Structure 1
Amino acid sequence: MSASIDHIRNIGIIAHIDAGKTTTTERILYYAGVVHRPGGVDEGTTATDFDEEEAKRGITIYSAAITCHWKGYSINIIDTPGHVDFTAEVERSLRVLDGAVVVFSAMEGVEAQSETVWRQADKYNVPRICFINKMDRIGASFNRTFEEIKRRLRANPVALQIPIGEGSTSTGVSFEGVIDLVKMKSLYYDKGSMGSSFEVREIADEYLEQAQEWRNKMLEAVAELDEKVLEQYYETEDIPEADLLRLLREATLRGDLQPTFCGSSLNFIGVQPVLDAVGEFLPSPLDRPPVEGINPQPKKRGGDAGEPESRATSVDEPVCGLVFKIQTDKHGDLCFIRVYSGQLKSGTRLLNARTGKKELISQLWRVHADAREKVETDSIDAGDIAGVIGPKDAVTGDTLCDIKHPILLESISFPETVISMAVEPESSADRKKLEETLVKLSRQDPTFKAIPNEETGQTIVSGMGELHLEVLRNRMQKEFNLSVRVHKPRVSYRETVSAAVEKRVEFNRPAANGNLYFNVKLRLEPFKGESPISIISKLKPEDLDPGLVKVMMDTLRMGVDGGGQVGFPLMNVQFTVLEAHAREGETNEAAVEAAVSEALHGCIMDAKMQLLEPIMKMEVVTPDEFRGNIQADLSSRNASVLNSEWRGDLCVMEVESPLSQLFGYSTQIRSLSQGRASFSMEPLKYAPAPPSVLKEMIG
């Protein structure tokens, strides 16, 4: 039976790699009764890291959806990766989630990928709560991490808990439990029952002053949200608990505040209060605004396609949902879908608003990571998440909706790929199998691209990093039983233009049934916008038949896929149709396509092309004794150290470096620091490559 919509919580667990996301998820599932014994990341026995690669590497690679129930709430949890190579998993998860739990390590504080996932949550206006984990580790600091959340993320955390002790020493763990600042009680968790049992005590005298100080900060932050409550606070120096919780929830939903908790997931301390907070403070689907989209079809009685549409979270609205993940399965592809409105029913047909085709919803499944259970009611209500079997052409970001009430929701945008390598089958007999495998992998992973090269017989596959491509290669071998030869990874460059160029083409050819004619003038120029390429027309409505305008624009869109002079994708450019002239009886689609293609090619070949290379944002963490060697090595790689600060006794350097200089860097930094330094990186931007790179390419 589906939970009422106001008791559904769709949340993500997001963080930097190794902050403890998956362990926190395991503890949540254990306390909610989904698993009988919590698994361990190091042992490869967690419920959400079910893939063989994840278990072997001890990291999350694929976002895993799982449903649990806690104190009357139905909670759909998505455990997301922390490694930057798999940031697309976070992106597509946050697009469909209503709230998030952001996990921080009390040792490392706010790290590079912490900033990335926080920005992604900002992008989709996802309310969030914070959990400062690993309070029992050497070097853990609640205060430092709390201040870093404020300073580095420009956030407004409000502590609802503080730790009882922190860190550990050679004689044992100093972190004992947590102090609840709302009820002003201490919570001590029983490790023998894996934290299921905990004892509520009065706050010890040694922590009372500190607890009162933190409680006053919390009360002041909340009192400022409401004038009446502020007056009451000035009079009594306190806020009634009901008002306190109400205002905290309202501020969390607006994104003004982030309730903050602390604990140690590994040692079973402080996880249940986070679960309580998910129900108490994070939004239900009803708390989110109606989903916005456009009508992909013209209305019968006038009106244009592209008119705004919206759907409220209600079972009485026409059904619509967004496909946010596709998982290949022996039973058929499993599409993860967030239902925004109406009721999704098995055995029905829905419209794929992107393709205009109908898709069959043959089966609905509740998803528990890699295990699945059939939905008993054969329907999923608005606000919920489920797995669907049946759609054939759906890809990530597609909208499935009521055929009679079409709506196209905003799709999910993904970062540009930064690295590529050539693959080819071991034998020619496997060539078709390789093509089919790459199509399946591309459907599942929107940041994986595969482009065949007819001349060499190789296929160029592109992704987000060396680890990303390595994981995909291993999947080809293990899941699809396909042996491939791989060639050295290479950087995915882009091409742009440094100055405007114009090209006029007059297509005038004799044909079997008469003459063919079309005249077009194009301009290619530098451009910076949301999309890499802009194509616009300056024509007036009376200049050209609308059908021919469509052919012309479609030809341009297909033509730009061919790339620039060297063959790399174009970026930061705009094509403008300046003029177009047709002749009655002589201009048809073939003439338009030929003229536009020639003009497009002419613009590209005449332009002054510039090569762009991916620049990575890095965070390098090292003990001071190795800092000099690491900085010297970074300098030799044309990297720039923008800033450095101290995190305990470790130096944290903020670095920008061309990706082309970073192959094999993980091995190098280990050798320079006796294995004690670490780094993380993410794509930052594309910037002009040295002229020598382009000269070398074109000989």
Structure 2
Amino acid sequence: MRTDTTTSTTTSTTSTTSTDGIAAVRNLGILAHVDAGKTTVTERILYLTGTTHRRGEVHDGTTVTDFDPQERDRGITIFAAAVSCAWAGHRINLIDTPGHVDFAGEVERSLRVLDGAVAVFDAVAGVEPQSESVWRQAERHGVPRIAFVNKLDRAGADLDAALASIRERLHLHPLAVQLPIGAEGAFTGVVDLLHLRALTWTNEGDGGDGGDGGMRRGPVPAHLAAEAAVRRRALEEAVAALHPGALEEFCTDGTLGAATLTAALRDLTRTGEAVVVLCGSAYRNRGIEPLLDAAVAYLPSPLDAPAVRGVTSLTDDTVQERDPDPEQPFTALAFKVNAAPTGRLTYLRLYAGRLHKGDTVLDTATGRLERVSRILRVQAERHTETDHAVAGDIVAVIGLKAARVGATLCAPHAPLLLEAPVSAEPVVTVAVEARRSADTDKLAAALARAAQEDPSLRLRTDPETGQRTLSGLGELHLEVAVERIRRDHGIDAVVGRPQVAHRERLVAGVTGFVHRHVKQEGGAGQFAHLVLDIHPLDDTCEEDFVFSSTVTGGRVPREYVQAVEAGLREALTEGPLGGHPVTGVRVTLTDGATHPKDSSELAFRTAARQGLREALRAGRTVVLEPLAEVTVSVPEDALGTVLGDLAARRGHIQSTAASQVTALVPLAELFGYATRLRSRTQGRGTFTTRPAGYAPAPTG
């Protein structure tokens, strides 16, 4: 008995020590619209924390996280990059995510493994379309966020206007904890409203004061004292209105202390009831230290996140939970794969347990055992080898030969299957061929590797013509993928004209549709009898397909019902009008019959596939084309030209401001629009897009 007690105590102590280390970890993403400055924010964080010794610049192509040649050539983030740094006794794992809509899949996969995020907004433009999209993505994953209003040194920068934009576009409570000191070119610092002090930067953060990045603390400037007091009071009232604990102190004392405000802001951030807003200029190195302090204070550690939930396996839906504890069985999710010719690099988020170099892990979905030969701490393109990793870590491993993006890796004796990141459906397709026939097989392998790295890419080979097509989330997405194949593999690839990915939607169904599948060719035959009700789904339904069965009395056994559903899903991959995927279908199996010898899962699967295709032809479907919400920024003198061009592209104008137009435009009409816009506005026009659903395509 004494031995058991001692062992228990030792284990408890080890667990506590380990979880103390996890509490000091922050796994954060940097989210923003393209050109809002998130990569510059990341670079300044790395410089300020001593991780790098030179400030990288996007325009010079010297940033740490934008290390791919295409990123440096284009001046945008294309691939999510992970880096680590230390601040105030905490280890911060940062993922710099793309801001362009074509690379939303990278953002989605990153958010799946993050505990918190910093959303960067442009102080002039406010909440831009892709800012809103990535915010909603984070909201869907339940990732707590704080906001950083960047570029306050620019002409036209306005913190209050940015706050109003956050309030109107994101429908939440922005809680500004800072007040700018100076405006535009005269912006020199901020007033910290929690502690009523000034934080100023007298230079651009050369670190001359012993690593403090040039930041000085001092009293609030006299000309801002009254405004700072008013804003502090407004902050207290806003927090008290949202947080019961703060309300109690506010009603008792008539004010809120800094400690109470900090605790309340942490709670509101983690519940998503409000967003803490800071401000600064990353390019000028102003505002980064308070941003890091806020990330540590308000955003959660892996211990604050709920236990991950999963099922035992693909065939066993028993739900299990794993706490973020090193003493739990090892559990991790693969969220990124770099299938380079020199070896496979698999990025993991550890949710529980420990991983050591040389460990054997189980890929739960495939049942395959894999050996981890090396574990790497990631610093964008550079890596540092380590012997082990624990719950809460984000690392890369070498040695996994088959694990794909979304794979759950776990201890072989404790299988668990986590939900994989969801990939958006492709909307643009191009044909890709090798110019030289000798490169055909090489191109096929390169395309397969590209699709393996990026699940947003879909590769298909036409069974009749042998032509290979690559589908993705936009022109730029496919352009980058093909260019990478050309560069990395030395293949001269020829790309066809882009085509949009249409859908077919059911608008009129059939009731009591009977299909009887009978096949007899000697030996065991096939028999299945089905009665189906096929109806359109309501437009408000988020599902593309809903299946149910009302069969009673065992007329169709349960295993055959599952086969029916599988066959129905196969039928929906090709519609009757153009072979496009069919959406908006509700199918109910109302009756059926079996044969004692000839019925099987295969027979019912075949019957369901054939029956639904016949039923769709008996009903009515329409072809849908993808739409994009286009936001065009142009000088006022070019506004009329742009409006006319959008109308010619079948665009529906949503709003028009002095120098900005928002319209819904069929995606097919936007091919080549960037060149056309530049020529019609003498290079002064810019535009952004984001997916906006589908609409019926014109007939004829």
Q: State the TM-score, normalized to the length of structure 2.
A: 0.92
Q: Determine whether 1:664 maps to 2:679.
A: no
Q: 1:684 and 1:62, CA in 2 relative to 1: closer, same or farther beyond 3 A?
A: same
> Where does residue 683 of structure 1 map in the other structure?
691
> Where does residue 518 of structure 2 map in the other structure?
508
> Where does residue 384 of structure 2 map in the other structure?
373
2:420 and 2:516 map into 1 onto residues whose CA distance is: 38
Cα offsets for 1:490-545 (capped at 9, x unmatched): 11111122211364333334333255433233444322543423344443472234
Aligned-pair distance for 1:594? Answer: 4.2
1:337 and 1:473 map into 2 onto residues whose CA distance is: 26
Which residue of the other structure, out of 449, 464, 469, is the alignment partner of 1:455?
A: 464
Aligned-pair distance for 1:550? Answer: 4.2
> Where does residue 641 of structure 1 map in the other structure?
653
> Where does residue 641 of structure 2 map in the other structure?
629
Q: Would you say the 8 A contact 1:418–1:462 is kept in 2? A: yes
Count of matched residue pairs: 675
> Where does residue 39 of structure 1 map in the other structure?
56
Aligned-pair distance for 1:237? Answer: 4.7
Q: Would you say the 8 A contact 1:565–1:604 is kept in 2? A: no
2:457 and 2:532 map into 1 onto residues whose CA distance is: 32
Q: Would you say the 8 A contact 2:533–2:588 is kept in 1? A: yes
Q: Would you say the 8 A contact 2:361–2:370 is kept in 1? A: yes
Give the residue type in structure 1 aligned to 2:507.
S
Give the residue type in structure 2 aligned to 1:526.
P
Which residue of the other structure, out of 404, 416, 422, is the alignment partner of 2:413?
A: 404
2:288 and 2:82 map into 1 onto residues whose CA distance is: 19
Q: State the TM-score, normalized to the length of structure 1.
A: 0.92
Q: 1:62 and 1:585, CA in 2 relative to 1: closer, same or farther beyond 3 A?
A: same
Aligned-pair distance for 1:286? Answer: 1.1
Give the alignment of 1:314-329 within 5 angstroms. Answer: 314-329=325-340
> Where does residue 493 of structure 1 map in the other structure?
502
Give the fraction of aligned pairs with identical amino acids, expressed as a percent: 38
Q: 1:549 and 1:393, CA in 2 relative to 1: closer, same or farther beyond 3 A?
A: farther
2:87 and 2:559 map into 1 onto residues whose CA distance is: 57
2:403 and 2:50 map into 1 onto residues whose CA distance is: 34
Report the 3-state secondary structure (helix = DSSP H, G, I; strand = E; otherwise coil) of the residue aligned with 2:583. Answer: coil
Report the 3-state secondary structure (helix = DSSP H, G, I; strand = E; otherwise coil) of the residue aligned with 1:287. Answer: coil
Q: Determine whether 1:393 maps to 2:405.
A: no
Aligned-pair distance for 1:235? Answer: 6.2
1:548 and 1:421 map into 2 onto residues whose CA distance is: 39
Which residue of the other structure, out of 461, 465, 472, is the alignment partner of 2:481?
A: 472
Which residue of the other structure, out of 346, 351, 375, is the alignment partner of 1:340?
A: 351
Give the alignment of 1:247-258 within 5 angstroms. Answer: 247-258=264-275
1:231 and 1:555 map into 2 onto residues whose CA distance is: 59
Give the residue type in structure 2 aligned to 1:470.
E
Report the 3-state secondary structure (helix = DSSP H, G, I; strand = E; otherwise coil) of the residue aligned with 1:53. Answer: helix
> Where does residue 170 of structure 1 map in the other structure?
none
Deviates more, 1:574-583 or 1:210-219: 574-583
| Unaligned 5+ runs, structure 2 | 1-16, 208-212
Deviates more, 1:232-241 or 1:12-21: 232-241
Cα offsets for 1:340-361 (capped at 9, x unmatched): 1222333233332323333333
Q: 1:185 and 1:601, CA in 2 relative to 1: closer, same or farther beyond 3 A?
A: same
1:468 and 1:611 map into 2 onto residues whose CA distance is: 24
Report the 3-state secondary structure (helix = DSSP H, G, I; strand = E; otherwise coil) of the residue aligned with 2:573. Answer: helix
Q: Would you say the 8 A contact 2:625–2:697 is kept in 1? A: yes
Give the residue type in structure 1 aligned to 2:689.
M
> Where does residue 430 of structure 2 map in the other structure?
421
2:70 and 2:576 map into 1 onto residues whose CA distance is: 37
Give the residue type in structure 2 aligned to 1:322.
L
Q: Determine whether 1:526 maps to 2:536.
A: yes
1:232 and 1:601 map into 2 onto residues whose CA distance is: 66
Give the residue type in structure 1 aligned to 2:366.
T
Aligned-pair distance for 1:38? Answer: 1.3
Aligned-pair distance for 1:65? Answer: 0.7
Which residue of the other structure, out of 478, 484, 489, is the alignment partner of 2:493?
A: 484
2:222 and 2:525 map into 1 onto residues whose CA distance is: 97
2:439 and 2:532 map into 1 onto residues whose CA distance is: 43
Q: Would you say the 8 A contact 2:509–2:616 is kept in 1? A: no
Which residue of the other structure, out of 164, 171, 174, is the alignment partner of 1:154?
A: 171
Aligned-pair distance for 1:231? Answer: 5.3
2:384 and 2:243 map into 1 onto residues whose CA distance is: 46
2:551 and 2:252 map into 1 onto residues whose CA distance is: 69
Aligned-pair distance for 1:101? Answer: 0.5
Q: Would you say the 8 A contact 1:297–1:406 is kept in 2? A: no
> Where does residue 607 of structure 2 map in the other structure?
595
1:84 and 1:608 map into 2 onto residues whose CA distance is: 33
Aligned-pair distance for 1:445? Answer: 1.1
Aligned-pair distance for 1:614? Answer: 0.3
1:522 and 1:86 map into 2 onto residues whose CA distance is: 40
Give the residue type in structure 2 aligned to 1:453.
D
Aligned-pair distance for 1:587? Answer: 2.7
Which residue of the other structure, out of 641, 657, 681, is the alignment partner of 1:673?
A: 681
> Where does residue 585 of structure 1 map in the other structure?
597
1:625 and 1:35 map into 2 onto residues whose CA distance is: 45
Q: Would you say the 8 A contact 1:521–1:599 is kept in 2? A: no
Give the residue type in structure 2 aligned to 1:687.
A
Q: Would you say the 8 A contact 1:15–1:102 is kept in 2? A: yes
> Where does residue 12 of structure 2 map in the other structure?
none
Q: Would you say the 8 A contact 1:523–1:603 is kept in 2? A: no
Aligned-pair distance for 1:55? Answer: 0.4
> Where does residue 302 of structure 1 map in the other structure?
none
Report the 3-state secondary structure (helix = DSSP H, G, I; strand = E; otherwise coil) of the residue aligned with 1:224. Answer: helix
Aligned-pair distance for 1:593? Answer: 4.7
1:251 and 1:550 map into 2 onto residues whose CA distance is: 44
1:420 and 1:297 map into 2 onto residues whose CA distance is: 31
Which residue of the other structure, out of 107, 115, 122, is the alignment partner of 2:132?
A: 115
Which residue of the other structure, out of 527, 531, 542, is the alignment partner of 1:517?
A: 527
After TM superposition, the runs of 4+ consecutive aligned structure 1 residues lying more than 6 A away are none
Deviates more, 1:427-436 or 1:280-289: 427-436
Cα offsets for 1:106-165 (capped at 9, x unmatched): 111111111111111111121111111101111111111112111211121211111111
Deviates more, 1:530-539 or 1:378-387: 530-539
Aligned-pair distance for 1:462? Answer: 1.0
Give the residue type in structure 1 aligned to 2:81.
A
Give the alignment of 1:346-361 within 5 angstroms. Answer: 346-361=357-372
Give the alignment of 1:234-249 within 5 angstroms. Answer: 237-249=254-266
Q: Would you say the 8 A contact 2:571–2:610 is kept in 1? A: no
Q: 1:515 and 1:472, CA in 2 relative to 1: closer, same or farther beyond 3 A?
A: closer
Q: 1:193 and 1:617, CA in 2 relative to 1: closer, same or farther beyond 3 A?
A: closer
Which residue of the other structure, out of 77, 81, 99, is the alignment partner of 2:94?
A: 77
Which residue of the other structure, out of 389, 392, 395, is the alignment partner of 1:383?
A: 392
Give the residue type in structure 2 aligned to 1:14.
L
2:606 and 2:119 map into 1 onto residues whose CA distance is: 53
Give the residue type in structure 2 aligned to 1:320.
T
> Where does residue 272 of structure 1 map in the other structure?
289
Give the alignment of 1:54-133 within 5 angstroms. Answer: 54-133=71-150
Give the residue type in structure 1 aligned to 2:333.
L
Give the residue type in structure 1 aligned to 2:680.
L
1:491 and 1:271 map into 2 onto residues whose CA distance is: 42
Cα offsets for 1:181-225 (capped at 9, x unmatched): 122222222426436122222222112222222211222223335
Q: 1:152 and 1:370, CA in 2 relative to 1: closer, same or farther beyond 3 A?
A: same
Q: Would you say the 8 A contact 1:535–1:557 is kept in 2? A: no
> Where does residue 177 of structure 1 map in the other structure?
189
Q: Would you say the 8 A contact 1:39–1:47 is kept in 2? A: yes
Q: 1:564 and 1:344, CA in 2 relative to 1: closer, same or farther beyond 3 A?
A: farther
1:491 and 1:156 map into 2 onto residues whose CA distance is: 39
Cα offsets for 1:61-112 (capped at 9, x unmatched): 0010111111110111000111111111111111211111011111111111
